[in-house]
Chains A and B, each alone.
Chain A
Amino acid sequence: MIIAGRNISKYFPIKSGSLFGKPLMLKAVNEVNIEVNEGEIVGVVGESGSGKTTLGRLLVGLLTPTSGHIFFDIPDDKLKEYDEYLVNGEKEKYQKIEREYSILNKSGNKLKSIRKSMNIVFQDPYSSLDPRYNVIDIIMEPLIASGQLSSDKRYARAMELLDEVGLPRDFAYRYPHELSGGQRQRVAIARGIATFPKFLVLDEPTSALDVSVQAQILSLLLRIREKYNIGMLLITHNIAVISYMADRVNVMYAGKIVESGPKVDIILQPDHPYTKALISAVPGKSVKANRIILKGDTPNLINPPLGCSFHPRCPVAFGICGWTIKEVYEDLKYLIENKYSEILDNKASVNINNENIVIFNANLDKVKKIIEEEMNNIRSLFAIDIVEEKEGHIQITIKKYRVPKMVHHKNKMISCLLFDLNDN
């Protein structure tokens, strides 16, 4: 593995409401495992705010993770051992591997040499190039910083790189404002590969470009991968780009990877309900009949939904996906006090105490019938465990939720209770 992340989390503190209160935490990346092999393009897709960019920045060391470890150039068997130790809880053994390979435990010259072998290409070529440097200076800068070549060789290497990315040599003394978007992105890529890195993060490399230019940049990246055997992490929201470029795909939602596996299995046979919806939402020439339209928006990451963070939007969510008593209460209140108030003679009222929902002045059979009827429209009703009559009112208890774990399914990893249950 050229790079491997284990249980990486990144929380950003947000100002809390009160002056002395604890700062709230925005959980941008939450317990993510990711691996990139040499010469492999790994895609990360997700909606905006799902933590894709933060993950990329964590892997190249631009941000420090709140918890978890990032291993650089770790042999595959060591990584396997590490995973085993982690599962068995053999603290001394896994800490030894962490000391040896984790970039978080390195400093000074060692860190510098690792930094040399990783780089990142940013999303917006209009703001990631220094307007006061000309093209050749921009490309030579990482070479100067890493101090590997003498000045003549640096110049020769920079010129070589210009050829490599398909820019004429007389562009060397132009400034970024004289270049078009596609040309700037080529300069950014040349800067990214200048120090012969082994690992390159591409953060939305083509989202600011037009389609015709995008195709040029994508084929340039593929050519570079062939030539230098660089492992790449391609971050994008464009599923078509991922399906063209990547070997393996990770789908992120609300700071977590929900499905990961080989490209073909993810794009053509998605299994996680979110991946299914995401891929069916891609507009394309083959207009799909069974398009899944998700309701609602991406969750707030300061207070993410409990259990599986996708459950409020999930079209197939069921009882233990993470419904809280409050969510069930609100839906029941709407049903019984508004939608079906006629049936219950306008008298029924819904209340909540710590563990139960209590309905006053209602008929048990009618309430049961309402719940049964609405079950398929309002998914939260699946969480209702027992409906019983107690001391003249109706008491409703709900099921306990579970947090989905990453499990093997076919040849991918999925974090969804649908597959978790089948395996047990």
Chain B
Amino acid sequence: MEQNILLVNDLRVHFFTRRGTYKALNGVELIIKKGEIFGLAGESGCGKTTLGLSIMGLLPRNAAIITGKVLLDNFDLIAPLRDFAQKNINNFNFRRSENIIKKLNDKLVNIRGKKISMVFQDSMTSLNPVLQIGYQIAESFIVHQPNQLLKRKLARVNAKQNQLEEILDMLKNGASEDEVVAFAESNGLSGIEEQVINVWRRNDMSEANKEKIIMSLHSEKLGFFEKIFVFSNKNKAQSLARVPGFSRMYKNTLIKEGYRKAVELLSMLEIPNPDRVVKMYPHELSGGMRQRIMIAIALANNPELVIMDEPTSALDVTVQAQILELIKSLKGRFNTSFIIISHDLSVLAEVCDRIGIMYGGRIVEISSKEDVFKKPLHPYTQMLISAIPTIESQDLRGIGGSVPDMRNPPNGCMFHPRCPYVMDICKTKEPKMLEKDGHLVSCFLYGEDS
């Protein structure tokens, strides 16, 4: 059976604003399976981004989670926020809400970036302009797996030339990665295997060059402080790192190693000249390149779930095609599920396995990517498909009316004021998600759920 990574259950998020309560999410139901790419489409203001941010627990202080759960591996990410909102719904205090958020942030430090990470919409503003690319990638290693970095260093110190030769021979004879890992562990060199394999997998250099790099991995000489951190056990290294003065040395050791790992990660994403790119600053890179760096940062710690918020909408078509190709190629290589948020259905159709259509803060239909175009069930999906111009279609029909004002949303089904098949029940009762022909659809046309 396929494993579920993420479960969102009846999520309702409201924002308290000066001009009334903005009902952004109104009962979202969503299940993400392991290793799938899920697309989330909808018009602006339908709550796509809010859903992404709620899953990350990144809500502002005026947001109240009325009901709902976000379960990542059976751990409820937003429980404190929900409990607070439910207790204080009539007397919502922004300052107290902020305190709760601060506490939640401390709690989620070990989850964000490690188990679940996010690629934001605008790559120019989400990278730090005063830090090198390499540092920004290394930061996620330093925060989440400092011991792994020290281990890699130690492995290089301990490795002997003949051991590396042996690993190389194994790779040349077509040994699998598991065998290499097993060999490295049995020789007390765990940490070396990923360095060797990452170099071996590069296709931008000749085999002779690769061998040269791999063979140069042994018997590294360390500085005085580096020795202290690398050779002490991990608890000792971390307690030493709290001593003033030592902390900087500790961090420098990690940064140096983090840059090395960043180069490996970038070469894995097939970015040309990774050794040069890590020393650059964001403004030196083009938009497509920056987006690739953002994706690299999100994938740094091999998370279980990556949320991409409009990853290609700031890019040109030809660059967009490059990024989509990259996302497609990631699917097999990393054991990661993706949620891709976009307003462009055709972009999602390129890369996703399943697509969910959002309207008025609710997911109205979930189906496979073929079915979205071929046999959409929900009236909104049908109308949305016929409103998208494509090269083939010459028949466009817009959807009459406009997106509902989420401060005063309509009762019952959100779409009923614009729906051509509206019935009496639509105006009073909220439809629930039903299964129909392999789709999940929330519409009374396909039966009533009592």
Could you mark each residue 308-344 of chain A with 1 if its beta carbon is under 8 Å from any beta carbon of chain B, else 0?
A: 0000000000000000000000000000001111100
B72 contacts partner chain A, Cβ-Cβ < 8 Å: no
A294 touches B347 (CB 8 A): no
A338 touches B209 (CB 8 A): yes
A293 touches B317 (CB 8 A): no
B319 touches A243 (CB 8 A): no
Chain A positions within 8 Å of B43 at CB level: 210-213
Interface size range on A against B: 35 or more
Give the interface segment out of B27-35, B246-254, B295-303, B390-398: B390-398
Q: How far is the CB of B384 from chain A (nearest CB, A)?
A: 6
A278 contacts partner chain B, Cβ-Cβ < 8 Å: yes
A342 touches B343 (CB 8 A): no
B318 contacts partner chain A, Cβ-Cβ < 8 Å: yes
Q: How far is the CB of A303 from chain B (nearest CB, A)?
A: 15
A239 contacts partner chain B, Cβ-Cβ < 8 Å: yes
Chain B positions within 8 Å of A48 at CB level: 316
Chain B positions within 8 Å of A293 at CB level: 318, 321-322, 325
Q: How far is the CA of A217 from the CA of B396 in the complex (A)?
A: 11
B316 touches A215 (CB 8 A): no
**Max chain A C-beta neighbours (<10 A), residue from B318, B392, B393, B397:** B318
Chain B positions within 8 Å of A219 at CB level: 396, 398
B319 touches A215 (CB 8 A): no
B318 touches A277 (CB 8 A): yes
Chain A positions within 8 Å of B350 at CB level: 283, 287
Query: For residue B287, which residue of chain A has the nearest CB?
Result: A297
Chain A positions within 8 Å of B347 at CB level: 283
Q: How far is the CB of B329 from chain A (nearest CB, A)?
A: 11
B398 touches A297 (CB 8 A): no
Chain B positions within 8 Å of A277 at CB level: 318
B206 contacts partner chain A, Cβ-Cβ < 8 Å: yes
A279 contacts partner chain B, Cβ-Cβ < 8 Å: yes
B316 touches A243 (CB 8 A): no
B392 touches A244 (CB 8 A): no
Instruction: Enumerate B14-64 residues with CB–CB distance to A below 8 Å.
Output: 43-44
B324 contacts partner chain A, Cβ-Cβ < 8 Å: yes
Could you mark each residue 274-288 of chain A with 1 if its beta carbon is under 8 Å from any beta carbon of chain B, else 0?
A: 000111111111110
Q: How far is the CA of A123 from the CA of B299 in the complex (A)?
A: 35
A153 contacts partner chain B, Cβ-Cβ < 8 Å: no
B396 touches A244 (CB 8 A): yes
A244 touches B389 (CB 8 A): yes
B349 touches A283 (CB 8 A): yes
Query: For residue B345, which residue of chain A has the nearest CB?
Result: A211
Q: How far is the CA of A214 from the CA of B383 in the complex (A)?
A: 13
A283 touches B318 (CB 8 A): no
A291 contacts partner chain B, Cβ-Cβ < 8 Å: yes
B396 touches A283 (CB 8 A): no
Chain A positions within 8 Å of B389 at CB level: 214-215, 218, 238, 240-241, 243-244
B396 touches A281 (CB 8 A): no
Instruction: Enumerate B337-396 residues with CB–CB distance to A below 8 Å.
Output: 343-347, 349-350, 373, 383-384, 387-394, 396
A237 contacts partner chain B, Cβ-Cβ < 8 Å: yes
Q: How far is the CB of B273 from chain A (nearest CB, A)?
A: 11
Chain B positions within 8 Å of A280 at CB level: 321
Chain A positions within 8 Å of B317 at CB level: 47, 237, 239, 278, 281-282
Q: How far is the CA of A278 from the CA of B321 in the complex (A)?
A: 9
B143 contacts partner chain A, Cβ-Cβ < 8 Å: no
Q: How far is the CA of A354 from the CA of B343 in the complex (A)?
A: 52
Chosen A-B contacts, 10 in total, with CB atoms closer than 8 Å, are A47-B319, A210-B343, A215-B397, A216-B398, A217-B398, A280-B321, A284-B346, A286-B392, A287-B349, A339-B205
Give B residues with C-beta under 8 Å from A.
43-44, 205-206, 208-209, 286-289, 316-322, 324-325, 343-347, 349-350, 373, 383-384, 387-394, 396-399, 402-403
Enumerate the 3 nearest inter-chain pairs by beta-carbon distance, A residue then B residue, closest first.
Answer: A216-B398, A215-B398, A281-B321
